[in-house]
Structure 1
Amino acid sequence: MKEKLWIRSLQGYEETVKLPTRFKHLQLKKLSFGARACTLQFEYDSTLKDDILISEDMMKLLSIPHDRQLHVFVHSDVLDIGPLIGIFTAGFTESLLRPIGERSLFFAKFLTMEKSIGVNAFVFGAHLINWSEGTVEGYFYDEKQGWSKRMVPLPHVIYDRLPNRKTENHAAIQKIKQRLKDEYLIPWYNPGFFNKWEIFKSLQTEGSMKHYLPETIYQPTFLDIQRMIDQHKHIYIKPANGSLGLGIYQVIASSTDHAYYCRYRDGEENRLQKFTSLKKLIQHLFKGKSLQNYLVQQGIHLIRYESRPVDFRIHTNKDQDGKWRVTAIAGKVAGKGSVTTHLNNGGMIKTLEELFPEQKKRESLSTRMHHSVLLLSKAISASTEGIVGEIGFDIGLDKNGDIWLFEANSKPGRAIFSHPKLKMADRLSRQLSMAYAIYLTEQGVDQLEAQYQ
């Protein structure tokens, strides 16, 4: 059972909850919020419709917020209020104005979604957990009052927003994540950065997914690179665990002057170098270093906007029913001389309307893209360890109209939402990132209910 009710304070009572009479048949005995529960008196009032009244002492004991719409879940004799969502990250400061440094605004935007979807959310890190009490000192955000800290029980669900692979792989972080999952059975969604090669390998086994994949080789030898450049005339060499377009090399074989051209980012500059042989190019770029952490990928002849290559960032999210939905599509136009379409390399964001003014063509493409990324989302989440709740796809469209998958990201950046016409998409993707926790909480309650039966 799941409902959305207003949480109100009950004056003049202790250890008491008042509910609408439709709850009377449930024989409730306990009230819980997050990982904490207590036994109290349940009363039923025919005048209540969409409210639940909780005595002040219980509100304080369980740290339940006042005058808020939240969901209530029932399992056995327990009424569970929530979901209480903990957004787990690192990089905290001592400042209450900017508690997570430069990313404070990023997290504040997520937390402003909580009231509209009926959840209670906070940001926390490993150092804020009190294991002996089963509580956490969370950072909450209010649009009027700003940031505040409050002690709450450990959450129903944890949304992983660790900033990078180095932090994620730290032994202490791994230990804490495992303890919260094993000892407290807290669902943890988006638990890790994707490995590009592992994603490609899993999709290659899906017959219906293969046509989306450019030819890709992990840990390539020089002969692998030679064969691919001879066959495709255009390849990319990229880190298997890279992000933000860093460390990517575009290699093009020129038949007119029998040379090889390499385009890459060098600090703040886009570089283009010419080499008389592929061997000299590889030696110059990697200086004898192994390519064991790289992959080589077939280049695709992308559509262009004002003579510049275009690819697409598409966001998908699971919603509060656990279903995949497309929340945003935007074109990314490469900067002048750039190897990628990232904004920090001079790229720019365009809507589908700007790229495809013809409505019929635009709608046809949008339908095809929706279909493709939803299939890819289901395949990736089914083959990935842990709970995947959102994916950011980098998708290519070639001159023949074929769709290609370049990358899938489990913690996608949000640069496309700087475009003024993507405000609604920005809001929807943030809403669903939080709303998925409702589904996970309900699933957890259903599992507990099954144990009692």
Structure 2
Amino acid sequence: MLKSRVAVQVISSGMLPEDTLMLGEAHVKQWKIPQGQHILLKFGSFRQHVKVIPVAKYDGMRMSQSLARQLGLTNGSAVRIQYKAGTSALVLGPLIGVLVSRDYPHMPDKPFGSITMFCRELVEACTTQGAYVYFFTPNQIGSNISTVDGWIYADGWRRVTMPVPDVVNNRLTSRKLENRPSVQHFMKEVKQQHQTTVFNEKFLDKTEVFEALKKDESLVRYLPESHSLRNYTMLKSMCLRYNNVFLKPVRGSLGKGIIRITRLDESNYQAMYATSAGTRRQQYTSLVKLFSTISAKMKTVRYQIQQGLQLIDIQKRPVDFRALVQKNISGKWTITSIVARTAGNHHFVSNLARGGTLSSVGEAIARSNLQSGISRQDASQRLKQAALHIAHGVDTQIPAHFGELGIDLAMDTSGRVWLLEVNSKPSKNDNTPLNDNKIRPSVRMMIQYSRFLSGF
């Protein structure tokens, strides 16, 4: 494998013409780059003809200030290079654009609010791997589809005009922003005009995922019975079949708005509502009365009704598992991390936002009421296998491009693994492996997959 990572040195435009690059002699020889004739320089959507001058005993790349400005590169940036003889093109990259929900220009130290640290981490990981990253928001998407106003980090955050990237990682956290006509138009046009790859290009909703995965017979074993809740008849038939059922907002997250319904006897039912303060319980003397309460909510919220499961618990606190599954430098799904989440006191959902606690899978299984005879290693293996299997299923059955998925799994007391939900915008806080490494494996993997997509 040729050494392809170079440091960029920016020199004054008076000393070097804009159409000339100086490159370490070893790189010129390695890549067989022609000298003294114009070749095409590519960086994301940027295109310009340049001449390359080899420099003895030098390992980097020098370019003029005016060329660096058009590329959005700063002195000391590291990028990878490739020379493609067939098209006489010197390609720099990969150029990665991360689409985030909002920025705060008046807060130069924290321009992305709570995810600023994650963005810094990405910048550092890109520097290490020889990739270049910038961040942009829906408000920075204009009618011009050849450049993007974005944020780079170079001794502080700054706004610059950048070429359209090779790869866009869509990290929008709201459907409303994602569905903006300008955002949809941008994603469609950059794919067509610049062959940009967009991954995690859309939100998933619960019903869509379950309906899609049902088509693959090998995945049905992971799927609790679930339907879109449309009427009283559906609620009644599910409550007759199962002692517990869950109603989950189709587009909910962080455990918001989940209702657990338990049949107490022939006519009495209990509904447990997940609220930020804890669980609110209410009893009903008939299912009709319970449904009339829910039907008011159904005017604004679409629910999925799901079979209740006899999940493992730790001292009556339910346990589930969040697997972060990502594509690697070969484009293959791999497990980056799996953590156990135990519900907080007074809660029946395990989300950290609802007071849940994180632990390792082995620790949670050892403390749980899982049937004896199933080893920690066996239980852990079952979870990993299910997560990879489900990720492949999402890829195959849902027509959109995903590079990372948060897959929420549960295990019943007999050791069977069940799918709870699939999240195409996994939080960068919820799935953190339990260590203090500066750059998380999930961040490194995202860059490696971007390199795979862009051919670097």
Please say whether Structure 1 and Structure 2 have the same fold, judged by a TM-score greater than 0.5.
yes
**Residues in 1 aligned to 2:3 and 2:392: alpha-carbon distance in whole angstroms:** 28
Using the size of structure 1 for normalisation, the TM-score is 0.88
Residue 446 of structure 1 corresponds to none
Would you say 1:372 and 2:386 are equivalent positions?
yes
**Residues in 2 aligned to 1:371 and 1:74: alpha-carbon distance in whole angstroms:** 40
SS in 2 for 1:220: coil
CA offsets 1:192-218 (integer angstroms, 9 cap, x no match): 110211111111111110000000111
**Residues in 1 aligned to 2:342 and 2:276: alpha-carbon distance in whole angstroms:** 20
Q: Map of 1:132-211 to 2, 5 A cutoff?
A: 132=144, 134-141=146-153, 145-211=155-221
2:302 to 293, 296, 303: 293
CA offsets 1:76-121 (integer angstroms, 9 cap, x no match): 2111111111111232223222222343334333333211222111
**Residues in 2 aligned to 1:239 and 1:221: alpha-carbon distance in whole angstroms:** 15
Residue 418 of structure 2 corresponds to 404
CA offsets 1:381-425 (integer angstroms, 9 cap, x no match): 122223200000110000000000010000012343567x24459
**Residues in 2 aligned to 1:197 and 1:236: alpha-carbon distance in whole angstroms:** 13
Contact 2:318/2:348 (<8 A) preserved: no
Structure 1 residues 306 and 422, CA, compared in 2 at 3 Å: closer, same or farther? farther
Which residue identity does 2:244 align to in structure 1?
H
Once the two structures are overlaid, the 10-residue window that deviates more, 328-337 or 24-33, is 24-33
**Residues in 2 aligned to 1:63 and 1:346: alpha-carbon distance in whole angstroms:** 43
SS in 2 for 1:112: helix
Which residue identity does 1:281 align to in structure 2?
L
Contact 1:10/1:54 (<8 A) preserved: yes
**Residues in 2 aligned to 1:2 and 1:177: alpha-carbon distance in whole angstroms:** 33
**Residues in 2 aligned to 1:188 and 1:403: alpha-carbon distance in whole angstroms:** 31
1:78 to 81, 84, 89: 89
CA offsets 1:198-254 (integer angstroms, 9 cap, x no match): 111111111110000000111332122212111111110111121121111011112
Would you say 1:109 and 2:118 are equivalent positions?
no
CA offsets 1:253-298 (integer angstroms, 9 cap, x no match): 124x852111112453420111111111111233384598221000
2:28 to 20, 25, 45: 20
Q: Map of 1:5-404 to 2, 5 A cutoff?
A: 5-9=5-9, 13-14=16-17, 15-18=20-23, 19-24=27-32, 29-44=39-54, 47=57, 51-57=59-65, 58-75=67-84, 76-95=87-106, 96-129=108-141, 132=144, 134-141=146-153, 145-255=155-265, 258-266=267-275, 268-287=277-296, 289-290=298-299, 293-357=302-366, 361-404=375-418
Q: Percent identity?
A: 25
Structure 1 residues 26 and 248, CA, compared in 2 at 3 Å: closer, same or farther? farther
Structure 1 residues 109 and 278, CA, compared in 2 at 3 Å: closer, same or farther? farther
CA offsets 1:16-45 (integer angstroms, 9 cap, x no match): 342331211678812221211211113456
SS in 1 for 2:4: strand
Once the two structures are overlaid, the 10-residue window that deviates more, 66-75 or 178-187, is 66-75
CA offsets 1:329-365 (integer angstroms, 9 cap, x no match): 1111112232311122221111124224599922222
Contact 1:220/1:296 (<8 A) preserved: no
Structure 1 residues 293 and 114, CA, compared in 2 at 3 Å: closer, same or farther? same
Structure 1 residues 187 and 20, CA, compared in 2 at 3 Å: closer, same or farther? same
Structure 1 residue 147: Cα displacement? 1.8
Contact 1:2/1:442 (<8 A) preserved: no
Structure 1 residue 129: Cα displacement? 4.6
Runs of 4 or more consecutive aligned structure 1 residues displaced over 6 Å after TM superposition: 25-28
> Which ranges of structure 2 fall in alignment gaps of 5 or more residues?
368-372
Contact 1:239/1:247 (<8 A) preserved: yes
Structure 1 residue 440: Cα displacement? 1.2
Residue 449 of structure 2 corresponds to 436
Once the two structures are overlaid, the 10-residue window that deviates more, 340-349 or 102-111, is 102-111
Structure 1 residues 365 and 411, CA, compared in 2 at 3 Å: closer, same or farther? same
Structure 1 residues 59 and 140, CA, compared in 2 at 3 Å: closer, same or farther? closer
* Superposition CA RMSD, Å: 2.8
Structure 1 residue 46: Cα displacement? 7.1
> Which ranges of structure 1 fall in alignment gaps of 5 or more residues?
444-453
Which residue identity does 2:97 align to in structure 1?
G
Structure 1 residues 220 and 191, CA, compared in 2 at 3 Å: closer, same or farther? same
**Residues in 2 aligned to 1:415 and 1:24: alpha-carbon distance in whole angstroms:** 45
**Residues in 2 aligned to 1:258 and 1:426: alpha-carbon distance in whole angstroms:** 55
Contact 2:167/2:453 (<8 A) preserved: yes
**Residues in 1 aligned to 2:34 and 2:91: alpha-carbon distance in whole angstroms:** 13
**Residues in 2 aligned to 1:56 and 1:384: alpha-carbon distance in whole angstroms:** 46
Which residue identity does 2:29 align to in structure 1?
T
Which residue identity does 2:349 align to in structure 1?
T
**Residues in 2 aligned to 1:6 and 1:184: alpha-carbon distance in whole angstroms:** 24
